[in-house]
Structure 1
Amino acid sequence: MTPAELALAAAEAAAAGAFMVHVHPRDESGRETLETRHVVEAVLAIRAATPGLRVSVSTRDGIVDSARRKLAHVAEWPSPDLGGPDCASVNWHEQGAVEVAEALRDNGSGIEAGIWTPEAASLFVATSWPWQVERVLVELIPGVTPGSDGPWAAERILAALGMSPAPVVVHGEERWAWPILRWAQAAGYDVRVGLEDTLHLASGSEAHDNAELVHEAATSEPRTPS
């Protein structure tokens, strides 16, 4: 929740095998925020604890009450060398996604394009942005992403995405988190895991922290997808 707690969790995740972290900075009351001072405090705390660790932050809908306010906040963020994030996730189905991506680009931060559905993938590939983003995040969310099976849903998005010029990360949430992670590992995609995606280990037991999830993802053997 606090910058110090985020920094400790980031350091532990890196020690467990993570090569970068994705965080949601919060204000004094614990609410997610896009305010520059809170974003910078979180990023700087993580960098101080783990120099060289790449830090991504969220720009998801719901943190602020409008696309206009979101853009205003993101446009104020400093460049990474002055405490801004190395990159930020932008969900391509959300209103104003392109404008937020442009603001990040202007600030010198990388863009992670969040693609939740085949429709969002089609919108994304119809632009010049596939050649401008740092990576594509194929995000599979039960009840939001079409499909009753996580890997099946991932394949449909990946088909709509086509040959991406940027690295592709594939990850799921809730009951899809571990099936998709293992499928993506076996298929050769980059993966992510953390408490944002699931509170449980693959066995179903509750995870102690992000580091425990990362450790399990990094050490277990993936199966070849059928």
Structure 2
Amino acid sequence: MTNPAGNTAQPFSLAVAPNGARKTHTDHPRLPMTPAELAQCAKDCLDAGAAMIHLHVRRADGTHSLETADYAPAIDAVRRAVGEALVIQLTTEAVGIYRPDQQIAAIRALRPEAASVAVRELLPQEGDPAQARDFFHWMHRERVVAQYILYDAADVRRYAALRASGAIPPGRHWVLFVLGRYAAGQTSTPADLLPFLQAWREHGMELAGTPWAVCAFGPQEAACATAAVLLGGHARIGFENNMQLPDGSVAPDNAALLAGVRGALGGLALPPMDAHALRALLA
């Protein structure tokens, strides 16, 4: 089977991003915040087809945290709930609270299996390129799988330049295209993927073989995910960016969002990866 990019269709991975840094139970009663809630969500999403969970944790007051004391109980709870059946990816999102050195220190202290890093946060234009380069190479050496978050085509070009300069080492990482971050109403459409892929190809990243995934905002999240998979990518789904089903109704939980995407792609004979297959892809 070939996809519209002309390549043999590969199994796809689904990641769940179940909460994000800012939303709370007032946004949705099933949005997981505590370690116990994250553990139950992980179990539900594993059953719905997830291979990875993108983890945000909170302080006791419900606000965003990158602190080891807040991360450790959540990581332990999720691992007890699902064992090795999900890749646990930690966020380094700053949310206007953390500096790049603090974001880096969190991952160095926790040494997770995987972590997401926004290029524009870890390496702002006025930032220390040596600090970011050292961190990117540390993750590669320590086998912490990085996912570099790219918000627009300019970010793709910058990522390509960092690859060309050696600041980002080849292999053992992937990227995430964030669709519609700057769209009116922050609502994504499948067409938002096209500028990313154009820049990706222009800079030779398609030939480099680095895997990529998308996340999207709003009720077309499932359509964006389906388009990404058909074009050779992977998808991240969940309440962090979207709480609506394709018909505009509010999803009962994160697992329902995943199940919808899995069902649509299953109808096209495209199988979801499990965590072991995802680890092999990213190794």
Decide: shared fold, TM above 0.5: yes
- Aligned-residue offset at 1:106: 5.4
Q: Alpha-carbon deviations, 1:112-159, whole Å to 9, x = none?
A: 1111111111111112326244221111134269x9973333111122
Task: State the identity as a percent.
Answer: 25
Are 2:57 and 1:13 aligned? no
CA distance in 2, matches of 1:112, 1:133: 9
Which of 1 and 2 has higher RCO (CA within 8 Å, sep 6+)?
A: 2
Given the alignment, which residue of 188, 193, 199 partners 1:160?
199
Q: What's the counterpart of residue 102 of structure 2?
A: 69
Q: What's the counterpart of residue 126 of structure 1?
A: 161
Contact 1:17 1:214 in 2 (8 A): yes
Contact 1:140 1:176 in 2 (8 A): no
TM (normalized to structure 2)?
Answer: 0.68
Q: Secondary structure at the match of 1:21?
A: strand
CA distance in 2, matches of 1:154, 1:103: 30
| Cα gap change, 1:50 to 1:149, in 2 (>3 Å) | closer
CA distance in 1, matches of 2:183, 2:136: 23
**One-letter amino acid of the structure 2 residue matched with residue 2 of structure 1:** T
- Aligned-residue offset at 1:168: 1.1
CA distance in 2, matches of 1:148, 1:191: 16
Q: Alpha-carbon deviations, 1:52-79, whole Å to 9, x = none?
A: 11111111121633223222333322x3
Contact 1:7 1:42 in 2 (8 A): yes
| Cα gap change, 1:4 to 1:103, in 2 (>3 Å) | farther
Please give the residue correspondences for 1:1-226 in structure 2 after superposition, counting only pairs within 5 Å: 1-52=33-84, 53-62=86-95, 64-77=97-110, 79=111, 85-96=112-123, 98-99=132-133, 100-105=135-140, 107-128=142-163, 129=168, 131-143=170-182, 150-162=189-201, 163=206, 164-221=208-265
- Aligned-residue offset at 1:101: 3.3
Contact 1:57 1:88 in 2 (8 A): yes
Q: Alpha-carbon deviations, 1:89-128, whole Å to 9, x = none?
A: 1111224373553454455421011111111111111123
Q: How many residues align?
A: 216
CA distance in 1, matches of 2:188, 2:244: 19
| Cα gap change, 1:71 to 1:149, in 2 (>3 Å) | closer
Q: What root-mean-square deviation, in Å, do the aligned CA atoms of Structure 1 and Structure 2 show?
A: 2.5
TM (normalized to structure 1)?
Answer: 0.84
In terms of mean alpha carbon deviation, does 201-210 or 65-74 score higher? 65-74
CA distance in 2, matches of 1:143, 1:157: 13
CA distance in 2, matches of 1:40, 1:63: 22
**One-letter amino acid of the structure 2 residue matched with residue 136 of structure 1:** V
| Cα gap change, 1:36 to 1:159, in 2 (>3 Å) | same
CA distance in 1, matches of 2:96, 2:259: 29
